[in-house]
Chains A and B, each alone.
Chain A
């Protein structure tokens, strides 16, 4: 079953701007158009500097540009937070543990209510 969102929408926004891969590579400061093609075909992930360059070029925050990746990261963090909650709940309930649990429960509910569509 395909995921709800594509990992990223770099090709979508490039095509919307009618830019060629070569022009995109120039704007990003990449060596060649092949690098852009690799990003767009999910072969490579752009580094942080390139991600911000994409944001600057298209004016779209990474949360939307990399919607599918963010969705996956959110699911993973949520799952790990739930595991950590379960582990902490078994421990003695010190003030520090209570504070951690409060934070983690808030995190889980925040992720549940946050989807790329709602942002």
Chain B
């Protein structure tokens, strides 16, 4: 089967978090197939990669999306940067195209819908996908750590940004990073 035989696109977006990672699987045009968070212990990158591989085998994505850590606005620690690079390598090993989207690109896309901060973006995503509403964390106060469920919405924001930027066309034949 050639890539032109694939009639639609299934994307897996992954957002690493301090405790593991959050993910969403979206099928074009915008059907949420799967989502969740995975918590890992011990060697976080190794365990995360193991679970990501299982997820890839389960969801058979055509495209994997992660955050662009090279662009301005990427405030990620070294461990997470390493993990994102490893996810891209893992995708390449499985012959799946990996795309990167920067936080600023996502913010720019969602600012059109008058969403400027993480919670506003998450609220818009929850409105689009009602099944995510129970997972929407309350607005974070400055003294509170980030809710791990926010990584689901961050992953969804990455996926929707890429799909909106390119409306799904030629994603299989084009690399963004």
Contact = CB atoms under 8 A, between A and B. Distances in A.
A16 B131 contact: yes
A1 B60 CA distance: 8
Contacts, number: 35
A15 B7 contact: no
A11 interface: yes
B7 A117 contact: yes
A12 B34 contact: yes
A41 B54 CA distance: 10
A1 B7 contact: no
Interface string A105-119: 000000000010100
Interface stretch (A2-10, A26-34, A82-90): A2-10
A94 interface: no
Nearest to A16: B131
A18 interface: yes
A2 B7 contact: no
A3 B10 CA distance: 10
Main secondary structure of the interface of A (DSSP, over half): loop
A18 B10 contact: no
A7 to B, nearest CB: 9
Given A1-B1, A2-B61, A117-B7, A9 B131 contact: no
- Ranked nearest first, the 5 interchain pairs of A and B with the lowest CB-CB distance are A2-B60, A16-B131, A1-B1, A12-B33, A4-B7
10 contacts: A3-B60, A4-B5, A4-B7, A4-B8, A9-B33, A12-B32, A12-B33, A12-B34, A15-B131, A17-B131
Interface of B: 1, 3, 5-8, 10, 32-35, 58-62, 95, 131, 134
Given A4-B6, A4-B8, A12-B34, 6 more contacts: A2-B60, A2-B61, A6-B59, A11-B34, A12-B32, A16-B131
